[in-house]
Amino acid sequence: MPSPSAINRFYNSSNLIPCVFPLFRVVFLLLSLSSAASSTHISGGPQDDLFPEILRDEAVARLYELGKVSDGDGFLERTFLSPASIRAGNLIRTWMEDAGLTTWVDGLGNVHGRVEPPHASNKALLIGSHLDTVVDAGMFDGALGIICAISALKVLNMTGRSTNLQHPVEVIAFSDEEGVRFQSTFLGSAAIAGVLPNSTLHVSDKSGLTVQNVLKHNSIDTSEENLSQIKYDPDSVLGYIEVHIEQGPVLESVGVPLAVVKGIAGQTRLKVRVRGSQGHAGTVPMSMRRDPMTAAAELIVLLESLCKRPHDFISSDGQCNAFSLDSLVCTVGQIDTWPSASNVIPGQVSFTIDIRSMDDMGREAIIYELSNQMHRICDGRLVSCFLERKHDADAVSCDGGLNSQLKSAAYAALKRMTGEDIGDVPVLMSGAGHDAMAMSRLTKVGMLFVRCRGGISHSPEEYVLEDDVWTAGLAIQAFLDTNL
């Protein structure tokens, strides 16, 4: 019998992020009260067992074990097909085999584990996440989804339920999502979805090795001629689901361990260059300056206003209601100035803009407005401004059917953990990219988010409660039990 567990408890109060959504705060309070009132499990036969020794204890131990598999000394780093990535892939394979899965590695280094039930159809459910990391990473990003999926399948194997599945289930640990080594994200999932361009094989890393070289060094012989063989036939796939840490603070603020993901935001990256007149900080009067630094400052504040109150800017043409810009976020993360000296009025300032939104038309409208306003400001200040588009990706909507199944599964898992009706499972948007984005080019996708402490990710501070790891495993198990 598992010990009672209150999933909606607070973290150390020092880690609590101030709540930005007053409505959520109310929900949070209600949830806290309801879980405090009673925290007993409903427990019965084997169907009702919650398998804490596999879904929590072993899964958590594996997260820590995988978190130590690193190319860095004293920090976590696993980039595409690095020595640590190969070791991590081998470790994941042993866990897959322990769960009764048949394993292999494909032509882009993705690790697969599959259960083929005796009376299954030919359409497989794919469950995945990535085994690579950023530099100085946390141990839950990517790994959590892979390990929870393996644990859930292990429970089905041990209880004999995997033979009753109507569909094959395949867990995929993708070789590259973060894109650290080749500056190109989703190498693994894009190859499986069949959207990885041939040219990617010839992109080089810092040491001059190409993707193809790196594969070859690991005895994987992939060329332009057979890159397309890695692609899955859409007819052989039922759908793709992914469990991932939220990497943001919302679930913590509402006090719920799991959320369903409505979709993944589209994104544009821009580079803005502002040119003025370089000069002596002591001799050029204020009225005679053409200073690109102050112009850049005004542009950055303009961007903030535009993204905080988009409808103040793009409502005049009567189209405002067509855009849903609630999810709009804009960031200036990098500024470069030339010549960058304290006693020189700069000659040029450039900065990056990252714009994300679930609404692709809305994102375009914001960029159009930004460009208009920018030229007005730059003309007024007698500096020249150039806007360059560096990257565009459209938003991805998760499948409505998969989402409602995932929602029921998350609901069931939360209820089994608390013995309480927890109300609605939150629905969130993902501002970060995930393998599900690439997989959406192959099949319908669905995602669950798992609460992480302080919303912190891409940092060794990343942390997920042990009980939340357990809840995530239970949710996958509930999804498989109910829908396959």
Which is nearer to ligand NAG, 228 or 334 (by Cβ)? 228
Note whether 222 binds ligand NAG by CB under 6 A. yes
Pairing verdict, β 258-264 and 396-397? antiparallel
Q: Please state, in angstroms and rounded to a whole number, the distance separating the CA atoms of residues 297 and 286.
A: 16
Question: Which pairing describes strands 169-174 and 111-115: parallel, antiparallel, or unpaired?
Answer: antiparallel
Where are the alpha helices (H) located in 174-265, listed in sequence order? Answer: 187-193, 211-217, 250-254
Closest by CA position to 429, among listed 360, 358, 366, 330: 358
Please identify which residue in 53, 221, 304, 326 interacts with ligand NAG, judged by CB under 6 A: 221
Pick 124 or 450: Cβ nearer ligand NAG? 124
Number of neighbours of residue 370 by Cβ within 10 angstroms: 22
In the complex with ligand NAG, the residue whose CB is nearer, 115 or 303, is 115
Question: Toward ligand NAG, which CB reaches closer, 198 or 315?
Answer: 198
Stated length of the chain: 484
Q: How far apart are CB 163 and ligand NAG at their closest, in Å?
A: 5
Contact status: 224 vs ligand NAG (CB under 6 A): yes
Q: CB neighbours of 216 closer than 8 A, spacing ≥ 6? A: none
**Residue 225 interacting with ligand NAG (CB under 6 A):** yes
> By CB under 6 A, is residue 218 in contact with ligand NAG?
no
Q: Which stretch binds ligand NAG (CB under 6 A): 155-163, 272-280, 313-321, 412-420?
A: 155-163
Cβ proximity to ligand NAG: between 162 and 253 the closer is 162
When the beta carbons of 116 and 354 are compared against ligand NAG, the nearer one is: 116
Is residue 100 involved in binding ligand NAG (CB under 6 A)? yes
The Cα angle at residue 142 between residues 140 and 146, in degrees rounded to 5: 100
Least spacing, CB of residue 186 vs ligand NAG, in Å? 16
Q: Applying CB under 6 A, does 53 fall inside the site for ligand NAG?
A: no
- Tell me which stretch binds ligand NAG (CB under 6 A): 52-60, 223-231, 287-295, 394-402: 223-231
Query: What is the smallest separation between the CB atom of 94 and ligand NAG, expressed in angstroms?
Result: 11
Size of the site for ligand NAG (CB under 6 A): 15
Structure tokens given for 102: 């048949």
Nearer of residues 49 and 136 to ligand NAG, judged by Cβ: 49
Q: Which residues from 198-217 bind ligand NAG, rule CB under 6 A? A: 198
Of 42, 32, 116, 131, the residue nearest 84 (C-alpha): 131
Could you tell me which residues come within 8 angstroms of residue 271 by beta carbon, excluding any fewer than 6 positions away? 350, 351, 352, 353, 387, 388, 390
- What's the closest the beta carbon of residue 222 comes to ligand NAG, in angstroms? 5
Give whichever of 192 and 325 is closer to ligand NAG, judged by the CB atom: 192
Q: State both tokens at 371.
A: 């460009």
* DSSP string over 190-216: HHHHT---GGGGG-B-TTS-BHHHHHH
Of these, 72, 107, 279, 347, which contacts ligand NAG (CB under 6 A)? 107
Q: What is the dihedral of CA 335, 336, 341, 342, to 10 degrees?
A: -10
Q: Please choose, out of 71-79, 218-226, 327-335, 386-394, the segment that lies near ligand NAG by the rule CB under 6 A.
A: 218-226
Is residue 233 involved in binding ligand NAG (CB under 6 A)? no
The one among 229, 315, 319, 459 contacting ligand NAG by CB under 6 A: 229
- Read off the tokens for 271: 């580079």
Nearer to ligand NAG, 44 or 160 (CB): 160
**Of all helices (H) and strands (E), which one includes residue 85?**
helix 83-98
Options 43, 94, 226, 319; binder of ligand NAG; rule CB under 6 A? 226
CA pair distance 45, 50, nearest whole angstrom = 10
Decide if residue 443 touches ligand NAG (CB under 6 A): no
Nearer to ligand NAG, 199 or 287 (CB): 199
* Cα 137 to Cα 118: distance, rounded to the nearest angstrom: 40
Binding stretches for ligand NAG (CB under 6 A): 100, 107, 157, 160, 162-163, 198, 221-226, 229-230
